[in-house]
Structure 1
């Protein structure tokens, strides 16, 4: 087991996709960096996703801007880290079933385009050509963005981790943070380390880590469960990620099955009732999936801010930086977040 150094310029807390990105960009900038992860690298929210990176976030051009920047970085990932991500283009479609949703998309299109997001309005016939499971009678129109790709989030974590180590960062797993003193001494079961700057990238645990440093991050934690369908009765080609604007239901191909998500049971709602709601939407939007069996794929927690957009910033008085509240979209923003944390730290 590696020894904990006495001191570091930056101590990154959290070894998911955001934390390993931060460790890489800091170490690349010659910042003496130590990363502490309570479990294994990528063992939290980074491993419990739909395996997609995209740039279009309806109604949220700020997130889209970070995602565009991050996608460009992923296209350069092999050059920068030596790890190929094998990005596979699938596309991302949002189904509109209400006129107001179409109007809101059109009203926000200019802001999306201004930050480099490519998304256009398409008719029902074109939507069905892209995803033949759609019932054209249930949909008014759709937004389509071709800039969405399948990726394994753990490949991103491993690539950033290896590249960070190559630049001199020390990444210590199974090293939970127990306490943070006012002078930024971070205490763990393996010893203590003095940090010139703390960088909090702990995902759903970011609020707890911040509280140890007397910093208030107004985050809430939400559960997310991914589901597999049974094998559909008829073979289907690979489908784009398709989201229902009203319910948030998302589906995409996963080998011979369909992977889907629609949050988790609401407070006071039984699992059976929640599965029933999902089944009703499936039957309406994608009739071939009506009544199909649904099974747990994997589940996890994600952190969200009050505005559902990420917090990235610094509390100068505490020498405490943070990147949290990615609402399950950390894969889409990790390179931009890591670079922003680097820029905040080295500007001091």
Structure 2
């Protein structure tokens, strides 16, 4: 049982089909969104997941759905995703918890102000709704409860939140209603090619003939690719999160400072995390992809802390190659379920209570952690692999994937079927990591 157990369950279909147009590997937010938009076009699609739908990072993230603060490469996709979240409120049988409750980025130093203002000047022409708030406007927005240390803030009223523990399952059920077939406890082992392109997926339950495969396996994607001889530079980063019991009197909008982030939940509690406090376990991939990640480490050294952890020893013993007729690493460990860093969460609770006294009364209902799939430029890969035609990557969302999951799924469906792309796929090309 994972440490984050309150996930909406999605039953598995049966039996495994012998053929499909497209097979999706991975039952997280991006995989199920891709399945939804492919099925909506009448494409025969099968999704296989080694554990359960949203068992890993797709249920463990903060639940933010934001355009604000994103890399400019992601902004068009983020804007498109907001509209898709809205549309699902009417179309899906099960709710996602999405609401446009607003997001506020507070600044406590002149340096922070300069960085946020510079971003706003760059992003505003792209259609972002963000605005700059002075201290009086912040106070009005928060009902007179703004901390005195805040000097200004970026605020986007149209940004929002959804509930990670129910959203991915709701979208998966929506995809199934459109004809997608979903198989859990069904690990994909590898691919087979025919005439130089994708011909089938080998799973632990059997082979599925297909014309295309989308790998949306999150933190497992690089390992899957290595067995195929495809070099995908990606590292796993551990983030710790907690949730409170229902807590009246706190802000309605999500809030981020340099120290802590929190957002109200549909149940009346809050999801809380310490900012810039991610653990990057030292593993073989840390050295394998060191040249790729050095620029990122230098630029974001305050956000990622290198540590020897239990993950270190586990990955030293994880094979990078395997036979298709034998159990693989995806079957011997079906879920990444790391322990949270308790000290980080204790610190986060203290800091939030210092700024919002109502949180001094908060009861912590649950703490958990997840492994985030990170690329060297912190931007996802959504592209076909040139060396294996018909094999597509949708991974490396670097902690940003939940909010842009709908847009990413739509874009992947566009790429696979040859439709006009929802947004330009150029920033997400796999070739940018070629060596």
Question: Is TM (by shorter chain) over 0.5?
Answer: yes
**Deviation string, structure 1 residues 140-195 (Cα, Å, up to 9, x no partner):** 11111112223223543233323322333221111011233344432222111233
Note the residue ranges of structure 2 that are not aligned, 5 or more in a row.
Answer: 1-12, 280-304, 309-339, 420-435
Contact 1:179 1:187 in 2 (8 A): yes
**Deviation string, structure 1 residues 264-315 (Cα, Å, up to 9, x no partner):** 5544599465346435643654455469776743322221111112211111
Note the residue ranges of structure 1 that are not aligned, 5 or more in a row.
Answer: none
Deviation at 1:94, TM superposition (A): 0.6
**Deviation string, structure 1 residues 175-219 (Cα, Å, up to 9, x no partner):** 011233344432222111233211011111122222233222211
Q: Distance in 1 between matches of 2:392 and 2:52?
A: 22
Deviation at 1:252, TM superposition (A): 2.3
Deviation at 1:32, TM superposition (A): 2.0
Distance 1:291 1:308, change over 3 A: farther
Partner of residue 223 from structure 2, selected from 208, 224, 229: 208
Q: Distance in 2 between matches of 1:84 and 1:293?
A: 26
Q: Distance in 2 between matches of 1:339 and 1:134?
A: 39
Distance 1:268 1:171, change over 3 A: closer
> In the alignment, does 2:185 pair up with 1:174?
yes
Q: Distance in 2 between matches of 1:109 and 1:299?
A: 31
> In the alignment, does 2:371 pair up with 1:316?
no
SS in structure 1 of the partner of residue 132 of structure 2: strand
Deviation at 1:80, TM superposition (A): 4.0
Q: Distance in 2 between matches of 1:275 and 1:85?
A: 26
Deviation at 1:258, TM superposition (A): 3.7
> In the alignment, does 2:339 pair up with 1:339?
no
Q: Which has the higher strand share?
A: 1
Partner of residue 122 from structure 1, selected from 117, 127, 133: 133
**Alignment correspondent of 2:214:** 199
**Alignment correspondent of 1:300:** 370
Deviation at 1:341, TM superposition (A): 0.9
> In the alignment, does 2:54 pair up with 1:42?
yes
Distance 1:320 1:257, change over 3 A: same
Distance 1:243 1:96, change over 3 A: same
**Alignment correspondent of 2:312:** none
SS in structure 2 of the partner of residue 89 of structure 1: coil
**Deviation string, structure 1 residues 317-346 (Cα, Å, up to 9, x no partner):** 312111112222222111211111111111
Count of aligned residue pairs for this structure pair: 342
RMSD of Structure 2 on Structure 1 (CA): 2.8
**Alignment correspondent of 1:14:** 26
Partner of residue 135 from structure 1, selected from 141, 147, 165: 147
**Deviation string, structure 1 residues 71-106 (Cα, Å, up to 9, x no partner):** 101111144444444533321111112212222222
Q: Distance in 2 between matches of 1:279 and 1:44?
A: 24
Distance 1:337 1:37, change over 3 A: same
Range moving further from structure 2, 69-78 or 183-192: 183-192
